[in-house]
């Protein structure tokens, strides 16, 4: 009987041992998977846009090499029309300005900002982005995206002149033009400086941030000159 009982129990014991081994192996596999999952805690699974590297145009040197983000793109898209309006305002000084310093400042603004417009257009082309923000995302669409925290999400660009302002400036001559031109250009420059400071804080591309530095420096100096001119007129 003893031999028969031992023989009968042998296969059952072996099955129990095999079952225990299988459960243990499964537990180890789950532990390993859990460890791998734990290691993923720091991964970003959201939709937050990552910086993108600019690619050089075919057959040419990249005008803005390195990574760029939404703030860089919006800086260029907003500053281009801002600069273009400054050129329109400066062109009105010809034949209307009564003070030589006003005419001189208008010429300096045109000389500086026209090449900057071309630069920014070349960046957007290299980045594969439209020249106008209206052609892509609206400001509201960009709300909350990386690098956009400090941007102006209002209905208009800071410092931009209205159509009424431009018509009044075009109708003025002599000292009246000089004073109005200085007042409007101070506001316009302050808007550009605000936009450039946003780029300094939030931008990523080194070339774009360098232009933002130049805008802050040169247009702040011109604001001081216009302030002095108004006191003299």
Q: For 108-154, what is each residue's pLDDT tens digit? A: 999 999 999 999 999 999 999 999 887 544 434 444 444 444 343 33
Domain of 142 in residue numbering reads as 53-232
- Identify whether 31 is part of a domain: no
Residue in the block written with tokens 């040169």 = 218
- Identify whether 46 is part of a domain: no
CA 167 vs CA 89, 164, 171, 178, 181: distances in Å: 10, 5, 6, 15, 12
Q: What is the pLDDT of residue 156?
A: 63
Q: What is the pLDDT of residue 56?
A: 56
Beta bridge partners of 68: 52
- Segment (H or E) for 68: strand 67-68
Nearest to 92 by CA among 167, 160, 190: 167
The CA angle 40-46-47, to the nearest 5 degrees, is 145
Is residue 63 within 8 Å of 119, Cβ to Cβ?
Answer: yes
SS3 133: helix
- The CA distance from 33 to 21, in Å, is 18
- The CA distance from 208 to 150, in Å, is 16
Prediction pTM value: 0.70
- The CA distance from 90 to 232, in Å, is 20
- The CA distance from 55 to 128, in Å, is 8
- The CA distance from 125 to 156, in Å, is 24
- Identify whether 42 is part of a domain: no
- Identify whether 142 is part of a domain: yes
Largest Cα separation within the chain, whole Å, is: 128
CA 15 vs CA 5, 24, 94, 179: distances in Å: 16, 14, 101, 100
Q: What is the pLDDT of residue 158?
A: 85
CATH of the domain at 101: 1.20.1260.10
Q: What is the pLDDT along the chain (233 residues), one digit of tens a residue?
A: 444 444 444 544 444 444 444 444 444 343 444 444 444 444 444 344 556 766 555 556 899 999 999 999 999 999 999 999 999 999 999 999 999 999 999 999 999 999 999 999 999 999 999 998 875 444 344 444 444 443 433 336 889 999 999 999 999 999 999 999 999 999 999 999 999 999 999 999 999 999 999 999 999 999 999 999 999 99
Q: What is the pLDDT of residue 4?
A: 40
- Identify whether 45 is part of a domain: no
- Identify whether 220 is part of a domain: yes
- Identify whether 72 is part of a domain: yes
Q: How many domains does the chain have?
A: 1
- The CA distance from 196 to 208, in Å, is 9
The two tokens of residue 157 are 């660009």
Q: What is the pLDDT of residue 1?
A: 44
- Identify whether 124 is part of a domain: yes
Q: What is the pLDDT of residue 128?
A: 97
Q: What is the pLDDT of residue 54?
A: 60
Residues in the chain, overall count: 233
């Amino acid at each position: 009987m003893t031999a028969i009982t031992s023989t009968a129990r042998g296969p059952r014991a072996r099955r129990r041992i095999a079952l225990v081994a299988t459960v243990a192996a499964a537990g180890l596999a789950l532990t390993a998977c859990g460890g791998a999952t734990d290691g993923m805690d720091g991964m970003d699974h959201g939709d937050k846009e990552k910086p993108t590297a600019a690619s050089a145009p075919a057959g040419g040197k990249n005008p803005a090499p390195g990574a760029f983000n939404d703030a860089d793109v919006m800086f260029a898209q907003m500053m281009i029309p801002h600069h273009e309006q400054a050129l329109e305002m400066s062109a009105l000084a010809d034949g209307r300005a009564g003070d030589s310093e006003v005419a001189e400042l208008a010429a300096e603004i045109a000389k500086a900002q026209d090449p900057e417009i071309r630069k920014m257009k070349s960046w957007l082309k290299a980045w594969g982005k439209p020249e106008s923000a209206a052609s892509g995302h609206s400001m509201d669409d960009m709300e909350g995206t990386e690098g956009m925290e400090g941007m102006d999400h209002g209905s208009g660009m800071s410092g931009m002149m209205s159509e009424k302002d431009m018509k009044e400036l075009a109708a003025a001559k002599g000292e009246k033009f000089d004073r109005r031109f200085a007042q409007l250009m101070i506001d316009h420059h302050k808007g550009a400086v605000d936009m450039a400071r946003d780029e300094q804080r939030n931008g990523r591309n080194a070339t774009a941030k360098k232009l933002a530095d130049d805008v802050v420096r040169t247009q702040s100096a011109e604001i001081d000159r216009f302030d002095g001119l108004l006191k003299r007129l």
